[in-house]
């Protein structure tokens, strides 16, 4: 049987549908030999490659409280509160004042709590310890190049691939400033092929 690669693209909350794709593949006994992903697709692919079950991943997706993943004074909390109707009373002025802090900050949120969650959940797991060979994509702000992350700690790579500019601060890694890989390769099919995949199933959720 030909070596089977799975590519999971970035796409924000839409990428959660990729968990359903994994369920369907498992149902038919199709387990990828290699996985690549970008941004949220990278997050899902990374957890799956690390051996987390799909029920566990669904639990993370449905039960993680957004406000616990953000800085205590993150302006993004304002946007989250607007869902409850509390922030609507402040009108557009509140959003404007929240965004105005970008004059003195790198992004709306530092990403430290998300980094802590990843580190705590994945422990010290490295790419060499994964059940399935995996790589995710980031972009280097300094060089503008696509960066393929496939060694070292998995938690660091996932923090980098989801670092959407203006939302989360860039992730400092090996002398680079890494941001969301969607800016250079949102659908890294080529990386899956470089990892030996002869057939690649590409799930594009943008």
What residues are labeled active site? Answer: 39, 180
Q: Which residues of 33-72 are buried (b: 16+ CB within 10 A; e: fewer)?
A: bbbbbbbbbbbbbbbbbbebeeeebeebeeeeeeeebbee
Which of these, 19, 1, 12, 101, lies nearest to 60 by C-alpha position? 19
Which of these, 67, 33, 62, lies nearest to 48 by C-alpha position? 33
Return d(Cα 199, Cα 14) in angstroms, integer.
24
Check if the beta carbon of residue 179 is closer than 8 Å to that of residue 141.
Answer: yes
């Amino acid at each position: 049987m030909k070596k089977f690669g799975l590519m999971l693209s970035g796409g924000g909350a839409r990428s959660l549908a990729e968990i359903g794709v994994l369920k369907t593949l498992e149902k038919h006994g199709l387990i990828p030999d290699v996985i690549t992903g970008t941004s949220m697709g990278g997050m899902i692919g990374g957890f799956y490659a690390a051996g987390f079950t799909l029920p566990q991943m669904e639990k993370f997706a449905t039960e993680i409280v957004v406000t616990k993943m953000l800085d205590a004074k993150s302006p993004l909390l304002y946007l989250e509160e607007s869902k409850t109707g509390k922030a609507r009373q402040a009108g557009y002025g509140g959003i404007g004042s929240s965004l105005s802090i970008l004059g003195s900050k790198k992004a709306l949120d530092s990403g430290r709590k998300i980094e802590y969650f990843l580190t705590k959940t994945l422990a010290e797991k490295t790419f060499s310890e994964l059940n399935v060979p995996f790589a995710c994509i980031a972009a280097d702000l300094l060089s503008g190049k696509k960066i393929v992350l496939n060694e070292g700690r998995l938690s660091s790579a996932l923090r980098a691939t989801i670092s959407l500019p203006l939302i989360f601060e860039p992730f400092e890694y090996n002398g680079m400033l890494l941001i969301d890989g969607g800016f250079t390769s949102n659908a890294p099919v080529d990386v899956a092929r470089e990892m030996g995949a002869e057939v690649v199933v590409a799930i594009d959720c943008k």
